[in-house]
Structure 1
Amino acid sequence: MSEDTVGTVPNGESKEQVEPSVKGKGVSREDGALKEKSPSTKRKRLPNDKIGRLRDRIDEDPHDLGAWYELIGEYGSKGKHEELRDTFEQMLRPFPYVPKVWVDYINAELAFNDFQAVELLFSRCLLKVLSVDICSLYLGYIRRINPSNDAQARTTISQAYEFVIDTVGVDIDSGPIWADYIDFLRSAPANSTWEQQQKLDSIRRVYQRAIATPLLNVEKLWRDYDTFENSINRATARKFLAEKSPLYMNARTAMRELSHMLQGLRVYDHTFRRSFTPQESEAYRRWYHWAQWEMKDPLDLRAGKPLQTRVTYAFEQAMLYIPLSPRIWLDAFSYFIEINEEQRGLQALRRGMRYCPSSFLLRVRFAEHEEANKRMGEVRSTYESLIQALGQEIQKIPVPAENDPNRAKVPHELLRKRESLIHQHSMAWACHMNAARRIEGIKAARAVFTKARKAANQSYEVYIASAMMEHYCSKDSGIASKIFELGLKYFGNTPEYVLTYLDYLIFMNDDTNARALFEKAIAKLAPKDARLIYKRWLDYESKYGDLNAALQLSQRMSVVYPDETPRDIFLSRFGIADDDTINFVPSTPLHPGEAPQALGEVPVINVKRSTKSPEVAKEKPLLPEGTADESDNESTTSVSSSSSSEIAELEDTRLLPASQENASFYATKPPSIPTSKEPSFPPVILDLLAQLPPPHLFQGARFDSRKLIQLIANSTIPTMTPADIASKIKRARHI
């Protein structure tokens, strides 16, 4: 795998391969490669051997940042320059992208006045680790070695400032750098009118860039800019301030939102190991949100290089502080591909694979991208590395066998994690097999499947993938059936595998073997695991088999699953889950002021349907049960339902009349609507219900109102911030 391109100072380039360390005992990185330490007994240290004890702590946990700094403090206090340098170099192996480590390393070299080593360190980290702290230290070093009273030195310093602003000038914390640059330009001597005008133009240019950037000190910079322009010419000041005021207002609004978003975010609490806590999830969510927020263009940059710079910087910061999240690497890769920066995207993806070696997401995405671009060199090795890494992760979670009583003591979360890893392991083999077929042919794919069969911790997905590959690619259903039968020996007790095999036999119209597979499977599987298999075979028998066989199977299912009524089983044959109508639960008793009747005697009273105009209908009260309307000869019917809280069920799933002709027909068949002497609904609602057609005319699917209300209550309705609304309005104006 190729090396990452790292940062350089403006005058040169250098490369360095850096590898993040893997947490855990006995693991270290040397020269960018993983090496397992041989297990040995821990050495006994003397009480005063503080350095030795610190080394032991580091060996146990390479990400123990506190132990590293204690060790550095020991060497620093004794003035051991070489030991200090070696310790920092070792420290960079587990922490290659931590700004604090680079800053402390450079400061240590500056303390010994080793400027050559300092410049080498800057060349290694300036562009690789985008940090305001590192860039501020770089500017301090440049100004230290270049006296500002020399014209050439001032040019060098000015170039350094421009380089830093182009690198981290979009950071909300980079305000002091902008202010220092302006002060530096103000201090420039001007020996002629031309030089004075050039100086003012340079200051104005930097001011105008700064006030359009969301910086913590943007308000102070705006006030300083106002003072600067008015000190030159009040007439031109009004012109410049009026032109730049909208940009400043956008930057100030974005700064306030961004400062709230990033408050307390850039810490190393979730950088070196995953904790899977709510705090970590919230931190990850905020990092993802930052990049998405920048892509929404809150500054109205309208695409182009400035917007790409801001989005890229947000991704770079996220990759520094949450490198163990595969999502941030894939999102960054996708964005870089979108803006036609493929090499930068591949560098990000490779870095992500080093931090997350067992990530199915990153490895497969990288392999497919390489294959799609006809670069086959790393495809096979990428899949093999993924399979090896997943195998190692599975081995870290030992689980007793199925029949072992100690298996019940294993935490459920651990079992789920192991099952997920095994599934990914099997899918990695399947992806490897398909890639081999596309690149080298069907024989190479079969060779990969042979290796997969012999691999430990295998799941059924690879057998399904191989069988379907043979069916569709080599057009040989015989080989596919043999592979399914082979997998049945190992996964005959896995309902998902049996169901897939059953579907394949049905698809191949092999009803004999399908029926044999069904009988064999239900004999092995527990009833709760075989439910879907029963339903699938019942569906087949009902549609394409013998009716008597379908009825017999329905009877068997009613015995095996007593929780399902014969009615439910019957309706499932036709894809109808339930024929119950909408249930209505009134919030108030149907008869206010009356005591509840005996259980099962809650009356439901029909409402008369009026054929008159709405005005006349409003004047006419609804008739209670047992009364008759002189103008209508329709009779009402009393219906009883069982409920202790006066819950009435009615069929109110009706269709509106399609025409006036239908309206008169509907009016002759009134629906059953509950009412009382004192209706619990407003008259307008009751009048609307009276105008609806009867339920028997509706032939569509029925639904459960309670589930509908529950779905609405549990739905997450997205909200929009004022900034999002303003952004969408701005985009709409330019469409």
Structure 2
Amino acid sequence: MTTNQVPDVIGQLRRTVDTCPTDYLLWTKLLDQVLIADQEDQIRATFDKYLGIFKFDAKQWANYINFELNKGDLKRVELLFARCLPVTADVELCRTYVLYVRRVNDVITGGEKARATVVLAFDFAVNSVGIDLDSYDLWRDYIDFLKSWTPAINYELQLKNTAIRKVYRRCLVIPNTKLETLWADYRKWENETTPPNAASKLIADLSATYMEVRPWTTEWHNATEGLLRRKLTPHSPTSDPNNIVARQTALWFRWVDLEMANKLALPPAALRQRVEYTYRRATAVLPFVPELWFRQSLYLASADDEGLRTACIAHLADGFVLNPASYLVAFRLSELYEKEQMYTEARQVYDSAIAELVCEHAQTQARIDVLKTKAQALVPGLRAEKTEKTEKPEKSADSEDDDDDDEVPEIKYAYTEAQAAELGAENRKLTDSAAAVTLLYVKLMAFCKRSQGIKEVRAVFKQRKNFKHMEYQFYVENALHEYYSDNKKTADKVFDLAMKTYGKDGGFLYAYLDYLIILNSVADLNVVFELAVTALLKEITADKETLEIATNDVFKHQTSLERLDRSRFFLRKMVQRYINFAASHLDLDTVLSLSKRYIQYFPDTDELSLFKDRYTMGDFDAITRFDMNGAGTSEEPPKLRKTEPKKEPTKESRSLLPARPDGLPLPPTPSVVAGNQQHGFVGKEIYNLLHALPNAGCFGPKSEHLFDSAKLVELFADVVLPGEQA
């Protein structure tokens, strides 16, 4: 790469990480490039910005420190150590720190003072990470340093041996992946430096504790299966194609469970230290797994210690920086702030999460627009027609004689199957993104209601204009806040306002109906019910007509099908809800009238099922259980229910079955038939296949339809079924 190319690459990477500040792989590339460019100010600025986000990345802290060491700027090195050591828990970084201390405190020229300084550095390091199972090299460095001391007098030799023995006794009672190697080294050293009888006694005294620790290490190996990764994994549970994150998360939780089982019989303080350390390592290695941050916060907050609770909030706030779109981390952090009455900070969490998700929504919409632009295909002559229409002078806004012929034709799209699938996936992301933003606004209102009252809820409601794709739940929740604050008139106005936007949305209409049932406002209930039914039936009819028209727009076909299913679902749910309400609180004529309409809307309805639904009590269905010998729900908890073993057909019962040709399977059992009845006696696989196939309008003569039906008939005729001869 030429010198001129490097700045261009760096500039591109900088712009990219500005839009994706938590993209670890992009940051790694950027850091590599700035190190190649070797411009000190640029390198420092990049490292500082990166480590402000990934403050637990010991590897990059070490790279930054080594850069300053190579420049010979020891003051900066010490400042970096002061920044990184309190927030990281990494053996190699601590070894780097000790090496630096040894470098600036030469024991040959500095004598006893330098040696004491190095010992303090080693003590700090082993106190910080000595409990790490991979800390063997650090303990080995400590012991070798002490062994390198050449005493001048006998007294110093005794001090040296005492110091070495003390370190051995510290590390041999802590689980370590190379514990047996340390034990062998200790026995050899003790036997070489101590008289035989005394050595045997000292070894025997330590042996009992060592034998208790060794099985724990074996159990740890079994729990983690030798597969635990100790380096940062730059993936989240939702971007984990090879299931690496899920597997590693499970292994870390096994480690935590093993620590909390306390098979080492540690005192509470030592046990808590080990569990906290394990969580710190887990979140450093898997920083994009919200569940780890959440469970760590639960553990830290469980301590009856104000200092730990403060540390818990600070650590979870660091996790939120790495996971700005995590609902789990955001909600947990806001609750912790709220509990401490830090309402401003709690509000900032919501605002930050909303901003992040709104940005994601905009990015998804941009991708959809690009896909549509690529797939756009105007029908012949339409582009010229569209141009002519747009060139005509615009009519005034008050003109009432708008002619349909003057409208600009709708742009038509033609998608390949792959494009339709991609567009469908992006649209689902867009829908989920809008729902996510709505959820955060809904929970923000709930937080404001708890902490500041209805006035602040109204302030949040005014912010709805900041996001044009808000879903109906936002209005419903706001109306309920008003209602439960004794502001029924305001609640009614909110529902009326929402009706203008979501008057065709089955979800909103059902929520509105439910609200009116709560109010027991029968007159308004009837009006809204009729409006809702009319709107949904109109939507259902329109979607049916769309599906019956032959089209090569696979995406439009799928969208109409999904919308049709949703409208039917809410229409069914709405009428059932009204029937049940009428059965309990109105009159029988209303119930029968609604039931008749229900059957009219859904002709395949079993009238018996519709009838008995009115005569259930919660989950208890007496008609099914006692009159139809069915499996009416039991009052027992699910885990206590006893399931009757399935009875195989007896020899006598088999003889009553009609004879069947050899090689054909037995008829399905009644339970299988019952399961298939929901799909009209068609198996689940066949039903799903039929559900996914295009509608009948897509099949016909090749010149007029998307699929050539003649070719399909030939294809099916040539299929060789199992058991047939070709």
Equivalence for 2:145: 184
Work out the CA distance in 2 between the residues paired with 1:436 and 1:595: 70
Q: What is the aligned counterpart of 1:237 among 198, 202, 205?
A: 202
Work out the CA distance in 1 between the residues paired with 2:92 and 2:59: 8
Letter in 1 for 2:529: F
Equivalence for 1:282: 246
Equivalence for 2:272: 308
Q: Using a 3 Å threshold, how does the CA distance of structure 1 residues 338 and 235 change in structure 2: closer, same or farther?
A: same
SS of 1:342's equivalent in the other structure is: helix
Q: Using a 3 Å threshold, how does the CA distance of structure 1 residues 381 and 104 change in structure 2: closer, same or farther?
A: closer
Equivalence for 1:581: 630
**1:481 has 2:445 as partner:** no
Q: Deviations over 1:413-465 (max 9, x none)?
A: 43333333322322322333333344443233223222326642211222222
- In the TM superposition, 1:267-666 aligns within 5 A as 267-270=232-235, 275-283=239-247, 285-286=249-250, 288-289=252-253, 292-293=256-257, 295-302=259-266, 304-339=268-303, 340=305, 341-398=308-365, 411-452=423-464, 455-473=467-485, 475-525=486-536, 526-575=567-616, 576=621, 578=624, 579-581=628-630, 587=648, 590-591=651-652, 594=655, 596-597=657-658, 645=666
Q: Using a 3 Å threshold, how does the CA distance of structure 1 residues 471 and 124 change in structure 2: closer, same or farther?
A: same
Equivalence for 1:11: none
Is the CA contact (8 Å cut-off) linking 1:254 and 1:298 kept in structure 2? no
**1:174 has 2:135 as partner:** yes
**1:59 has 2:5 as partner:** no
**1:257 has 2:222 as partner:** yes
SS of 2:651's equivalent in the other structure is: coil
Equivalence for 2:95: 136
Is the CA contact (8 Å cut-off) linking 2:287 and 2:322 kept in structure 1? yes
Work out the CA distance in 2 between the residues paired with 1:508 and 1:210: 70
Q: Using a 3 Å threshold, how does the CA distance of structure 1 residues 585 and 369 change in structure 2: closer, same or farther?
A: closer
Work out the CA distance in 1 between the residues paired with 2:474 and 2:646: 51
Deviation at 1:178, TM superposition (A): 0.7
- TM-score scaled to structure 1, two decimals? 0.68
Equivalence for 1:207: 168
Work out the CA distance in 2 between the residues paired with 1:438 and 1:592: 66
Q: Deviations over 1:607-654 (max 9, x none)?
A: xxxxxxxxxxxxxxxxxxxxxxxxxxxxxxxxxxxx99477879xxxx
Q: Using a 3 Å threshold, how does the CA distance of structure 1 residues 57 and 249 change in structure 2: closer, same or farther?
A: same
SS of 1:396's equivalent in the other structure is: helix
Is the CA contact (8 Å cut-off) linking 1:460 and 1:491 kept in structure 2? yes
Work out the CA distance in 1 between the residues paired with 2:229 and 2:349: 37
Work out the CA distance in 1 between the residues paired with 2:259 and 2:224: 17
Equivalence for 2:106: 147
Q: Using a 3 Å threshold, how does the CA distance of structure 1 residues 259 and 146 change in structure 2: closer, same or farther?
A: farther
Larger mean CA deviation between 215-224 and 452-461 belongs to 452-461
Deviation at 1:468, TM superposition (A): 1.5
Is the CA contact (8 Å cut-off) linking 1:211 and 1:221 kept in structure 2? yes
Is the CA contact (8 Å cut-off) linking 2:442 and 2:473 kept in structure 1? yes
Q: Deviations over 1:475-519 (max 9, x none)?
A: 232322232232222222233322222222222221222222222
Deviation at 1:590, TM superposition (A): 3.4
Work out the CA distance in 1 between the residues paired with 2:238 and 2:411: 30
Q: Deviations over 1:88-122 (max 9, x none)?
A: 55664665443222222222332333322222222
Work out the CA distance in 2 between the residues paired with 1:644 and 1:545: 53
Larger mean CA deviation between 147-156 and 184-193 belongs to 184-193
Higher relative contact order (CA 8 A, sep 6+): 1
Q: Deviations over 1:381-422 (max 9, x none)?
A: 333333222221211111579x98769665444333333332
Work out the CA distance in 1 between the residues paired with 2:603 and 2:262: 59
Q: Using a 3 Å threshold, how does the CA distance of structure 1 residues 184 and 545 change in structure 2: closer, same or farther?
A: same
Deviation at 1:156, TM superposition (A): 0.8
Is the CA contact (8 Å cut-off) linking 1:212 and 1:250 kept in structure 2? no
Identity among equivalent positions (%) equals: 25
Work out the CA distance in 2 between the residues paired with 1:88 and 1:443: 44
- In the TM superposition, 1:719-730 aligns within 5 A as none
- In the TM superposition, 1:673-684 aligns within 5 A as none
Q: Deviations over 1:155-178 (max 9, x none)?
A: 111111111111121222211111
Work out the CA distance in 1 between the residues paired with 2:49 and 2:670: 75
Work out the CA distance in 2 between the residues paired with 1:385 and 1:83: 28
* Equivalent pairs, count: 561
Q: Using a 3 Å threshold, how does the CA distance of structure 1 residues 181 and 108 change in structure 2: closer, same or farther?
A: same
Deviation at 1:220, TM superposition (A): 0.5
Query: What 5-or-longer segments of structure 2 have no aligned partner?
Result: 18-24, 373-409, 537-566, 632-643, 679-726
Deviation at 1:218, TM superposition (A): 0.9
Q: Using a 3 Å threshold, how does the CA distance of structure 1 residues 454 and 258 change in structure 2: closer, same or farther?
A: closer
Work out the CA distance in 1 between the residues paired with 2:665 and 2:119: 85
Work out the CA distance in 1 between the residues paired with 2:52 and 2:82: 17
Letter in 2 for 1:597: P
Work out the CA distance in 2 between the residues paired with 1:516 and 1:404: 37
* Backbone CA RMSD of aligned residues: 3.7
Deviation at 1:70, TM superposition (A): 4.7
Work out the CA distance in 2 between the residues paired with 1:534 and 1:592: 44
Q: Using a 3 Å threshold, how does the CA distance of structure 1 residues 556 and 502 change in structure 2: closer, same or farther?
A: same
Work out the CA distance in 2 between the residues paired with 1:562 and 1:57: 61
Q: Using a 3 Å threshold, how does the CA distance of structure 1 residues 385 and 304 change in structure 2: closer, same or farther?
A: same
Q: Using a 3 Å threshold, how does the CA distance of structure 1 residues 255 and 573 change in structure 2: closer, same or farther?
A: closer
Letter in 1 for 2:235: H
Q: Using a 3 Å threshold, how does the CA distance of structure 1 residues 118 and 229 change in structure 2: closer, same or farther?
A: same
Query: What 5-or-longer segments of structure 1 have no aligned partner?
Result: 1-45, 600-642, 651-702, 708-735
Letter in 2 for 1:116: K
Is the CA contact (8 Å cut-off) linking 2:175 and 2:214 kept in structure 1? no
Q: What is the aligned counterpart of 2:4 among 46, 49, 54?
A: 49
Letter in 2 for 1:152: K
Deviation at 1:240, TM superposition (A): 0.9
Letter in 2 for 1:418: L
Q: Deviations over 1:231-269 (max 9, x none)?
A: 532451354134313433244324423663553452444
**1:217 has 2:172 as partner:** no
SS of 2:181's equivalent in the other structure is: helix
Structure number with the higher helix fraction is 2
Larger mean CA deviation between 280-289 and 419-428 belongs to 280-289
Is the CA contact (8 Å cut-off) linking 1:226 and 1:241 kept in structure 2? no
- TM-score scaled to structure 2, two decimals? 0.69
Deviation at 1:370, TM superposition (A): 2.3
Is the CA contact (8 Å cut-off) linking 1:294 and 1:310 kept in structure 2? no
Letter in 1 for 2:497: L
Is the CA contact (8 Å cut-off) linking 2:313 and 2:336 kept in structure 1? no
Is the CA contact (8 Å cut-off) linking 2:6 and 2:33 kept in structure 1? yes
